[in-house]
Amino acid sequence: MENNSSGYWQAVLGLLTKILIIWFLVSFGAGILFAPALNSISLGGYPLGFWFAHQGSIYIFIVLIFWYAKKMGDIDRQFDVHEE
């Protein structure tokens, strides 16, 4: 059990950075910037870049939020700042 508020905030910012990088890579990366390149790969009947823009990034967004909620719960308990 640790207790220092700057340590807590650093841990939170670390998690946010990680999630925002993935958020950026799937939507702006795979869905837009690299979409033309990814379209040469196909996922079933989907060109991959098109799939990321129309389907994939949405699924990954959902996973990201629940992952965030779970990880934040862990960090809260680790630094003993969770709600009673």
Partner 1 sequence: MDLQTITYLVVGASFALYIGIAIWARAGSTSEFYAAGGSVHPITNGMATAADWMSAASFISMAGLIANMGYGGGLFLMGWTGGYVLLAMLLAPYLRKFGKFTVPQFIGDRFYSKTASTVAVVCLLTASLTYIIGQMTGVGVAFSRFLGVSSDTGIYIGMGIVFLYAVFGGMKGITYTQVAQYIVLIAAYLVPAIFISLQLTGNPLPQLGLGSQISGTETSLLSKLDLVVKDLGFDQYTTSMPGSMLNMFMYTLSLMIGTAGLPHVIMRFFTVPTVKDARSSAGWALIFIALLYTTAPAVAAMAKLNLHATVNQAVGLETTASGNLVVNPEKVKANADLYATESSLQYEQRPEWMKRWEKTGLLKFEDKNGDGRIQYYNDKTKNADAKAKAEAAGWKGNELTVNADIMVMANPEIALLPNWVIALVAAGGLAAALSTAAGLLMAISSAVSHDLVKGVFNPNISDKNELLAGKISMAVAIVIAGWLGLNPPGFAAGTVALAFGIAASSLFPAIMMGIFSKKMNKEGAIAGMLAGLFVTLFYVFAHKGLFFIKGTEYLDLIGGANSFFGITPEAFGAVGAIFNFIVAFAVDKVTKEPPEHIQHMVESVRIPRGSKLVDGAH
Contact positions vs partner 1 (CB under 8 A):
5, 8-9, 12, 16, 19-20, 23, 27-28, 31-33, 35-36, 39, 43-47, 49-51, 53-55, 57-59, 61-62, 64-66, 68-69, 72-73, 76, 81-84
Reported as half-sphere exposure (CB side, CA atoms, 13 A), residue 68 has a value of: 18
Residue 2 or 84 with smaller CB distance to partner 1: 84
Strands 42-43 and 46-47: antiparallel
Bridge partners of 46? Answer: 43
Residue 1 or 5 with smaller CB distance to partner 1: 5
The closest alpha carbon to 55, from 26, 33, 29, belongs to 26
**Shortest spacing between CB 2 and partner 1, in angstroms:** 13
